[in-house]
Structure 1
Amino acid sequence: MGYAELINRLESLPRDKQAEVFDFVEFLAARCGAATNKPSPHVEWSDAEFSELSMRQALRGMEEEPVTYTRADLREQWQ
């Protein structure tokens, strides 16, 4: 896939999905040290990095959903 096709596909996405792609690219760039164009060596993800990405992916598309519960509704609280 060339740059032109990639840009066309990106532009066809809704704005919220474009923002999600941008966030993911920023995450990868930060993780890989994209200040240079050299490929970086394989680096293992830290638990914090993996947790952040997992939560972003699990909650994507839910940013605008209203919260319909409170802490009082919970039977158990996560740590």
Structure 2
Amino acid sequence: MSIKGLINQKIENLSESEQMKVLNLIDIIQQENLKTENQLWSQFSLEQAMKGLENDLIPEYTEADLIEKWQ
């Protein structure tokens, strides 16, 4: 029997309140998976955006360069 079949068979033997607990657990697992997937995509996106910049020569600015003078 498949895992899905075994799960269905066991769930059928539970009370409705216990089935609700199983449903809540499934929701928690799905949310964790989605959160992990989003974190992986965010990391990948950042890596792609920064790709090639590690050797880029960034100019050094001094405080004097940043002060705007008003006349």
Under a length normalisation based on structure 2, what TM-score does the superposition of the two structures give? 0.43
Q: Which has the larger radius of gyration?
A: 2
- Relative contact order (C-alpha < 8 Å, sep 6+): which is higher? 1
Q: Greater helix share, 1 or 2? A: 2
TM-score, structure 1 normalization = 0.39
